[in-house]
Amino acid sequence: MLRSATAIKSLAARKSATSLYSTTSSRGMKILAILYDGGKAAEQEPRLLGTTENKLGLSDWLKSMGHEYVVSSDKEGPDSVFQKEIADAEIVITTPFHPGYLTRDIMEKAKNLKLCVTAGVGSDHIDLNAAVENKIQVLEVTGSNVTSVAEHVVMSILLLVRNFTPAHEMIERGDWKVSDIARNAFDLEGKVIGTIGAGRIGYRVLQRLVPFDPKELLYFDYNPLPEKAAKEIKARRVEDLKEFVSQCDVVTVNTPLHEGTMGLVNEELLKHFKKGSWLVNTARGAICDKDAVAAALKNGPLNGYAGDVWNVQPAPKDHIWRTMKNPLGGGNGMVPHYSGTTLDAQARYANGVRSILENYFGDKPQEPVNIIVGKSGYETKAYGQRGSEKAKHGFSSS
Ligand code: NAD
């Protein structure tokens, strides 16, 4: 693949940084990475950087500086590599696609732990309150895969609204019954589309939908969009969540998972969705109640549900979201968690992890946008309004 001039420049800069750190960083650190196994695919495709085989492309660099770099996918239970090796690790890197869960209990045992890096976006696998109390910094590679996810959301909205999957399955079966598909196929034009969470991904989704000529674009977020940004895409904020969902033909979920969003889309809220509406969730599985969603697809009001995130990952073989359908046999756009791990995204988040490590080794300030928990505590506005009254009660969903 051709490398851009910027990529070549950044590689050159990294090379000189490597020699700098190999001479100045005398203190060998233990760095633990929990990644997913890529198997044959990772051997054949070196750009699958987020795998245990390709180790985020950091192995030679870290070893050249005398650091110990332990990489594994084994993360469950007290005898796992994760729980054993974390005991004396200074840095833990993990990816949302196969996260090592940093609970309070594990953090308290990890006496040497100072930095948790999320290779991607979404640090809900880390107990952020415990990180603050234990003075452990939490950083993620903010923005690294937001376009990848936004594109996936737009694709998922289209495949649900246009009833794509049953149409393709029909073709594979050798059948041809246009009316069976067309009876539940619509245009996106003229629909009301709304995002719960209008941050980097949510805003990009709305931006990308403008050319489809929707009737209206709505958003629900405790952080209002800057006036200019909202005006540019003619997005209207709705402050009451029930009111918001009752106006949308399509709802997309784009918030982090935290105390205020866990189970936010539940049986009660689903009662307020429009009859025949579609729901797309690429944020985190646990934001939507598993059984309530399946029931709403079977009995209404949902006509379709799509996404790539699950309440348990990997999803068990009998997880109801794998096979749930609407009464016409369609409406399921579920895939494994991959929207934010395209090869383009992997290059960006691997590069971003390296920059975070360079800053840490060189005792340089981190990019403010990457800091979830910094040296002086909780620093983002995205994982709930912590410390305020709203945080204690969860963000109002009424
Ligand atoms: P962001 O921080 O830019 O935006 C998140 C927005 O959600 C913020 O505007 C915040 O105010 C809002 N928010 C938080 N709690 C809310 C609540 N209770 N109600 C309404 N709004 C709320 O984050 P982003 O880059 O857009 O990413 C969002 C999430 O998407 C991530 O945290 C992650 O969980 C998920 N994600 C998934 C993938 C994937 O591969 N499927 C990849 C990247 C990110």
pLDDT tens digits for 200-258?
999 999 999 999 999 999 999 999 999 999 999 999 999 999 999 999 999 999 999 99
- The catalytically annotated residue of 145, 254, 326, 370 is 145
Consecutive H or E run containing 193: strand 192-196
Q: Which residues of 348-365 are buried (b: 16+ CB within 10 A; e: fewer)?
A: bbbbbbbbbbbebbeeee
Asked if residue 256 has a cis previous peptide bond (ω within 30° of 0), the answer is: no
Question: Does 395 sit in the ligand 1 pocket, CB within 6 Å?
Answer: yes
134 is a catalytic site residue: no
Q: Which CATH number fits domain 30-142+343-378: 2.40.50.140, 3.40.50.720, 3.40.50.10490, 3.60.110.10?
A: 3.40.50.720
Contacting residues for 251 by C-beta, under 8 A, at least 6 apart = 194, 195, 196, 245, 273, 277, 278, 279, 280
Contacting residues for 127 by C-beta, under 8 A, at least 6 apart = 102, 103, 104, 107
Q: For 144-186, what is each residue's pLDDT tens digit?
A: 999 999 999 999 999 999 999 999 999 999 999 999 999 999 9
| Chain-centre distance for alpha carbon 263 | 16
**Which residue has the least CA distance to atom 30 on ligand 1?**
283
326 is a catalytic site residue: no
200 annotated as belonging to a binding site for a ligand: yes
pLDDT band at 387 (very low <50, low <70, confident <90, very high): low
Which atom in ligand 1 lies closest to the alpha carbon of residue 142?
A: 25
Question: Does 204 sit in the ligand 1 pocket, CB within 6 Å?
Answer: no
* Residue whose tokens read 């410390």: 387
397 annotated as belonging to a binding site for a ligand: no
Cβ atoms within 10 Å of 282's Cβ, excluding its own: 25
pTM for the predicted model, two decimal places: 0.91
Question: Does 206 sit in the ligand 1 pocket, CB within 6 Å?
Answer: no
Q: For 49-98, what is each residue's pLDDT tens digit?
A: 999 999 999 999 999 999 999 999 999 999 999 999 999 999 999 999 99
**Which residue has the least CA distance to atom 27 on ligand 1?**
201
Q: Where in the chain are all domains bearing CATH 3.40.50.720?
A: 30-142+343-378, 146-334
CA dist., res. 106 & res. 189, Å (int): 49
CA dist., res. 248 & res. 217, Å (int): 9
Question: Does 386 sit in the ligand 1 pocket, CB within 6 Å?
Answer: no
Q: What is the DSSP string of 194-227?
A: EEE--SHHHHHHHHHHGGG--SEEEEE-SSPPPH
Tokens at 54, concatenated: 């390709």
Which atom in ligand 1 lies closest to the alpha carbon of residue 307?
A: 41
ipTM over 0.90? The verdict is yes
Question: Does 126 sit in the ligand 1 pocket, CB within 6 Å?
Answer: no
Q: How far apart are the CA of 322 and the centre of ligand 1, in A? A: 24
Which atom in ligand 1 lies closest to the alpha carbon of residue 284?
A: 34
Assign a CATH topology to domain 146-334.
Answer: Rossmann fold (3.40.50)
CA dist., res. 59 & res. 40, Å (int): 19
pLDDT band at 9 (very low <50, low <70, confident <90, very high): very low
Q: How far apart are the CA of 222 and the centre of ligand 1, in A? A: 12
Q: For 247-303, what is each residue's pLDDT tens digit?
A: 999 999 999 999 999 999 999 999 999 999 999 999 999 999 999 999 999 999 999
Which pLDDT value is given to residue 155?
A: 98
Q: How far apart are the CA of 121 and the centre of ligand 1, in A? A: 8
Phi, psi of 258, deg, nearest 5: -155, -175
By most ligand atoms within 8 Å of CB, the mutation choice from 94, 125, 144, 201 for ligand 1 is: 201
313 is a catalytic site residue: yes
- Using the predicted structure, report yes or no on whether residue 13 has a pLDDT greater than 70: no
Q: Which residues of 42-73 are buried (b: 16+ CB within 10 A; e: fewer)?
A: beeeeebbbbbbbbbbbeebbeebebebbbbb
